[in-house]
Structure formats: structure tokens, C-alpha cells
A = this chain, B = another copy of it.
């Protein structure tokens, strides 16, 4: 389930950043960076929420942002850049990264 910031559901339009990955076998430093970057992301201006799935080496991390400026600021955060470089060179066998503008959202409880 999405962990919305302060439990508040945003109204579209906002931005979804969808990151899907398949982990490699060399995960040195991975968990520490994973925890750190999540904590940093939560503190960025325009951060709205996230959800994460991880099972058997495959995963998806979807984060939600107020606008493209917020996405760009997060992309330029120094620790996030370090994590992306380590991810590309070492931790991820495969990934793809999608930036999409949310047009509608329906929730059912």
C-alpha cells in the first residue's frame, strides 16, 4: 500500500516515478544506501508518498511527487546520485525507470 506523506492523498495531476529492478549478487552497501535514500527522499520538498515491493531479488519502488521540479531536485540530490551510480555499476542486473504524470487515481477500501 502507498505510504502517503502525513496520510494525505494528493489530487492529480502529480508525478509517479516507477523504478523496477532485478538485483545482482553483489549487494555490498546496498541496504545502507536503500535505507538512507528513502529517508532523504521523504524529506525532499514536493515528496508525496511511496510504495515498495521486493521479493526474490525483483522489486519496484514507486514514489510520488508534486511536480517535475520536485523530481528533478531529487534526481540531483548528491547521495541519490551516488546510489544511482553504485546501482548501475554493481547492484542491479537490470532496471528501468519511468516518469509519468498521474491523470486519475481511484482508491477503494
Residue positions of A touching B, CB distance < 8 A: 1-2, 16, 18, 20, 22, 51, 53, 55, 58-60, 62, 88, 92-109
Specify which chain B residues have a CB less than 8 angstroms from the CB of A22 in the assembled complex: 1
Q: How many copies does the complex hold?
A: 2
Contacts A18-B18, A96-B105 given; indicate if A58 touches B62 (C-beta within 8 A).
Answer: no
Q: What is the CA–CA distance of A55 and B55 in the complex, to the nearest angstrom?
A: 7
What are the 7 closest A-B residue pairs judged by CB atoms, nearest first?
A100-B100, A55-B55, A53-B53, A96-B107, A100-B102, A99-B104, A97-B106
Q: What is the CA–CA distance of A101 and B92 in the complex, to the nearest angstrom?
A: 26
Q: What is the CA–CA distance of A95 and B98 in the complex, to the nearest angstrom?
A: 21
